[in-house]
Amino acid sequence: MENNKAIPKGFMTVGELAKKMNVTVRTLQYYDRENLFSPSAQSEGGRRLYTDRDTVRLHEILSLKYLGFSLDDIKNNLSSLDTPEQVAEVLSRQEINIGEKIAELKEIKTAIKKLKEETQQMKTVDWGKYADIIALLRMNNDAYWVIKAMDEKFMSRIKNTITPEKGEDYIKIWIRLCEEAAELEKRQIQPESEKGFAVAKAWWDFVTDVTGGDMSLLPYVMKFENDKQLWSTSWREKWEKAKPFIEKALENYFIKSGINPFEAGNAQSPKEARQTEEIAINPKEANYDKNE
């Protein structure tokens, strides 16, 4: 009661103002510390006191905050607006900012949906892969799904040596070669022809570049090929159309080249080299242990 008697008529305590404006006392205290909204007076006991005029000012602040303006904007910029034109200009800029935030939130929502779909297809919880998928989603990379099908060793090679730009190039090359092979197959061009040889050479150059010439990674590449149930529908369709031609063309390419490309630059034994060559030429017949 003594405290109430010490409050002059026409003033409110911080608690009374908070209740009236439906905000917390902590919020008003924070606004005071930030020199955004301070009390008009203090009681003899040091209590913050506010007037009806303060209520109007707080209402303005809360309204601007509702429109998405930051506290810094409200404190440093909006208080100096004197004409309707100035207010309209600020509101126009804020309208653009809000539109950009809405677009960003829509992208985030789409990313969450896609990530949820990918995690449901993965056999185990792997936060490292989740992070890699998110990184690709943030770059609007449509090949984000590739991550879930990649072996850890092959992923390490990609993350350590392949830039995002190079990764984009690889995607374009893969799509182009698949489309070329599918078109040759459709036109009934023989895989043993010059065009077939050229496609096979380009394909093998692509594989060599992706693996960095490390043929010990090739079984993991083929494991990725065998896990087509994890692929996106569009990529799976492209590969199914191109695969018959590429397999035959590659077999012809290896024979005509007269060399064993698997023996150069790696420490495989002759038996391992033959097994690796068999995988590359005819992956569907390879006896590859997926649990390895």
- Quick one: pLDDT at residue 275? 46
- Tell me the pLDDT tens digit for each residue of 159-182: 666 676 777 787 888 889 999 999
> Domains plus CATH for the chain?
2-80 (1.10.1660.10), 151-285 (no CATH)
Q: Which ranges constitute the DSSP H helices of the chain? A: 2-5, 14-21, 25-33, 52-66, 71-76, 84-121, 127-138, 146-149, 152-161, 164-186, 194-211, 218-226, 233-257, 270-281
The tokens for 172 are 């374009």
Return phi, psi of residue 48, to 5°. -70, 135
Would you call 82 exposed, middle or buried from its count of C-beta atoms within 10 A (0-12, 13-18, 19+)? exposed
Is the predicted pLDDT of residue 54 greater than 70, yes or no?
A: yes
Local confidence band at 108 (pLDDT 50, 70, 90 cut-offs): confident
The mean pLDDT value of the chain amounts to 76
More reliable by pLDDT, 117 or 228: 117
Please check the confidence at residue 189 and state whether its pLDDT lies above 90.
Answer: yes
Mean per-residue pLDDT, 269-287: 42
Of the listed ranges 86-90, 133-137, 182-186, 279-283, the least confidently predicted one is 279-283
Q: Quote the tokens at residue 23.
A: 């905000």
- CA Rg, the chain, in Å? 33
